Each structure stands twice: as C-alpha cells, then as structure tokens.
Structure 1
Amino acid sequence: MAELTGGTADFPPGAGTALYHPQFTELGAEECRRLLGTHGIGRVGISTPEGPLILPVNYTVLDSAIAFRTAPNAPPAAAAGNRIAFEVDRMDDALSQGWSVLLVGAAEVVTDTVQVSLLNKKAHSLPWAGGDRSLWISVVPTRVTGRRIAARDLPPAPGTRPELQ
C-alpha cells in the first residue's frame, strides 16, 4: 500500500520484492522499437579515456534512428563519431515488473538543417538540463535487444492450496 500511495517516494528504486512466478521474456526488434517511441529520457553509454560514462539524455525516435540533443562541449557530445550504447527502460517498483531496451550503433552529428528542424519539432520536451542543447546526435542501431519481466500467473487466492490448482 505504501508504494501505491507514494509513501516510499524518497527510497531508492529497486527495493521491491520479487514477483510470484516471474517471467523473463526476450523482446523482438519490433517491440523494442515500439517501446523506444513511448519515452523521452534514455541513457547514452560512451567510452572515454577515463573509463565508461553513462549519462541521461532527452531523445526522440526518427524513422529507424534515435536522436538526442546536447551541448557541443557537454560529455554526451563525445558520443559523436563513436560506437555507443543507448538504453531506455521502465521499471515499476510497486509491481516488481518492467522492461529494458538496449541498442548499439554508431553515433553521428546531425548537420542537415532540415533534419535538425524536424528533430526540434518532434522532440518530446525541452532538455531537462536547460541551457543551449542545440547539437543533435543520431544513432542508427546495428543491434537492438530488449527484455521484460512480468508476472507469469497470479498468486493463489487466499485460503486455497496452490498444490491443488
């Protein structure tokens, strides 16, 4: 009940208990692409000389690519010209279920002014970080994978014996 009423809002995510009979499912590429289109915040993973870096970014889906915007001197700009990972997920702590989509591909700066204008119009929101985030980076995935965890079936009704069902 505390989860549903917001009583645990300040607790770290992932503290829920495991589902009764959880089912782990690999998602197909089409389902992954559909789920990517339902969100506007994802994480970009890049390699740097100091080690891996994973950063949240606002993004949008355009055709078969995802695109995110950043400032030219911000850390996510280092993705340009490199092979990167991009991840989006949805977790429900109250129900201990969710999904995750990961794509891998080469990141390129979007330089075509028509494409930049289209991306600006299509963006779900203004960048949460504020400031000038006018550099769009596009990633056409070479690999898309996803997984979902959900309840396989419902727990037995109170007062019933599971072994008899």
Structure 2
Amino acid sequence: MARPPHAARGDIGRRVAARRLQLGLSREDVALRAGAAPGYIAYVEEQSATPGISFLLRLADALETTVHELTGGTVDLPGGLGRAAREARMVELGDTECWTLLGDHGVGRVALTHDDGPVVLPVNYQVLDGEVMFSTGDRSPLARAADTEIAFETDHIDDAFSKGWSVLLVGTVRVVEDEDEARRLRETAYSTPWAGEGRERVMILAPRRVTGRRIIVADAPGEPG
C-alpha cells in the first residue's frame, strides 16, 4: 500500500491522504469520484489548500466521509456518538478483508492483564507478513506481557452514517530479543511511536485468531442501495 506523502502540510490534506489510503484509492480514483483533476487532489494533499465548500462536499462524498471529518471537527469527540441507523445489519469479515482493513500501519488498542487487572493501551502498529509489531518501553505493561496472550483491536466509526468496522486479533506477543533485528524493524517502521522516545522494546503479536465485523447501512455513501 502506498504511504501518505511526507510533503503534506495542511490538516485537510493529511486527512484526505489518510482517508484515501484507508479506502485503497489512488488520487486518480478520488479525482474521478469528485469530478476533479488528479493534480488538484495532489495539491490538496500536499499543500495548505483551502478548498471551497462545494468541492469539499464532493470530496467528502468521494471519500465516503463527511466535511466535518475532513476539516477536523470530530478530532476531540469520542467515537460512537451517532444513533443506530434503520435497517442496519452486521456482517462477519473474512481474514483477507480483516488484514486489508488493518492496512500496513495505524493506531489500535491492546488489551492485556496487568498486576492491577485488565488494561487497554493505545499503540502504533505495523503489519509484517501476518503479524503485528509494536514498540514500547522496557517497563510498560505491554513489555511485561511478553509470552502471554493478548488482544489487539482497531476500528473505524462513521458517526454521521452510523456505520463502521472493527478487527480483533488474539494471540501470543513476544519480544524481539535479537538487537540487530529489533533495530532493523524500528528503522523500517512507518513512524516512531506517537507517545515519544524511549520505546525501544520491539514486540510481535502472532495472532491465532483474526475476526472482524462491519455494520452496513444500505443508504449510506459507499454502500449498495
């Protein structure tokens, strides 16, 4: 999967690029959907562009999202504020679609048992040949969970249209003990952990179970009628 352009400077551009890649679309695909030139999509993603509302509406529809999402209006809101849609249905996802939705990197949550009980932690992750890599601190609850079974979950929720999906992985997490291999994995990772420096412990989750679910709303953008 292609990665977001590192030259992206505007907040809208970063959100457009991230959503486009999440959907697996090229700039040409988005341009065709939005009735624009591919060069303008590139401009929006890479420069501090301020598109007009009419184009933003077409762009949001092309990306199966909302203007509110693209402009950052939901950044500080918890997911799941929308009401359930009429005639919504839930479908189970196969392994292939689960891995496609995971992409090659992103942010998810790990659930594990700590000294004080269950803990859920947000993590940056990287997908590596059917396994998931995390970087964490030596004393973190995740590092202490080495060689135990944990759960990893990531999802996307569209409040505006009351739909979304979630993917759950369950399996044993291990520490990459070989320092050369750990350094190589850190250097090839898409990004450093959002939480900052000092997270040099590389851990790999080998899932024994991969499951996913999607809520489908027939009249929402991107869904069949």
Q: Which bin holds the TM-score, normalised by the shorter protein?
A: 0.7 to 0.9
Over 6 Å off, 4+ runs: none
Aligned partner of 1:161 in structure 2 is none
Residues 2-58 of structure 1: CA deviation (Å, up to 9, x unaligned): x74355654432111222321201001111111112541111111123111010011
In structure 2, the partner of 1:154 is 219
Distance in 2 of aligned mates of 1:7 and 1:59: 25
Partner residue, 1:37? 103
Q: Which of 182, 186, 189 pairs up with 1:123?
A: 189
Q: CA RMSD in A?
A: 2.1
Q: How many residues align?
A: 153
Tell me how far 1:76 sits from its aligned partner: 1.9
Give the helix-richer structure, 1 or 2: 2
- For 1:162, the equivalent position in structure 2 comes to none
The whole-number CA distance in structure 2 between the counterparts of 1:66 and 1:135 is: 14
User: Using a 3 Å threshold, how does the CA distance of structure 1 residues 150 and 118 change in structure 2: closer, same or farther?
Assistant: farther
Residue number in structure 1 paired with 2:209:
143
**Identity over the aligned pairs, expressed in percent?**
48
Q: Deviations over 1:66-107 (max 9, x none)?
A: 010001012221221111111111111122111101011111
CA contact (8 A) 1:81 1:107 kept: yes
8 Å contact 1:19–1:150 — kept in the other structure? no
Normalised by the size of structure 1, how large is the TM-score?
Answer: 0.82
Structure with higher RCO (Cα < 8 A, 6+ apart): 1
TM (norm. structure 2) is 0.62
* Shift in CA distance, 113/92, structure 1 to aligned 2, threshold 3 Å: same
Paired with 2:92 and 2:192, the residues of 1 have a C-alpha distance of 32
Structure 2 unaligned runs (5+)? 1-65, 221-225
Change (3 A) 1:32 1:76: same
Given that 1:46 and 1:78 are in contact with CA atoms closer than 8 Å, whether structure 2 keeps it comes out as no
Partner of 2:146: 80
1:57 to 119, 123, 138: 123
